[in-house]
Amino acid sequence: MPFVPPTSEQLGLYLGLDEIQGDRADLLLESAVALCETVVKPLPEGAQAVVLSVAGRAYVNPQQVSYETIGPMSVQRPSGSGGLYLTKADKSALKSLAGRGGAFTVDPTPPSADPSPTWPIGDGDFVDEFEPGWGY
């Protein structure tokens, strides 16, 4: 099943918002898809979670505010918690969904390789005398 981009309604559900600005949400979702495609293209099935996460961060904190005080309330967010960006975890998840994560083995042996020995194994091929300089 191919990747289906999430909708602005799904972004609203993801963020727990009753109302969402549809045009702004659509722009952020399109931008998040484009940003995710810089890591993996085409996006794999299941990448909707990463796209929603990327767009959700940008929707709730577009100016990348890290500290805010309103009256007696103050909120401090981690640096880099706003705007449109991919975290290491986002990149890792995209690669894993695309089947590019984890360890793998590469066998350099060509399919035409013959498993029989290539060195002389018979007594007739062995010379009793060594070349000069071998210390014998």
Q: What is the pTM assigned to this prediction?
A: 0.62
Q: What is the pLDDT of residue 57?
A: 86
Query: Averaged over 21-36, what is the pLDDT?
Result: 91
- pLDDT class of 32 with cuts at 50, 70, 90: very high
pLDDT in tens, 59-78: 887 766 666 778 888 777 66
Buried b (16+ CB within 10 A) or exposed e, 78-99: eeeebebebeeebeebbeebbe
- DSSP letters, 55-103, are HHHHHH-TT---EEEETTEEEE--TT-SSS---HHHHHHHHHHTT--S-
pLDDT in tens, 86-114: 889 889 888 988 887 667 788 898 888 88
DSSP state of 38: T
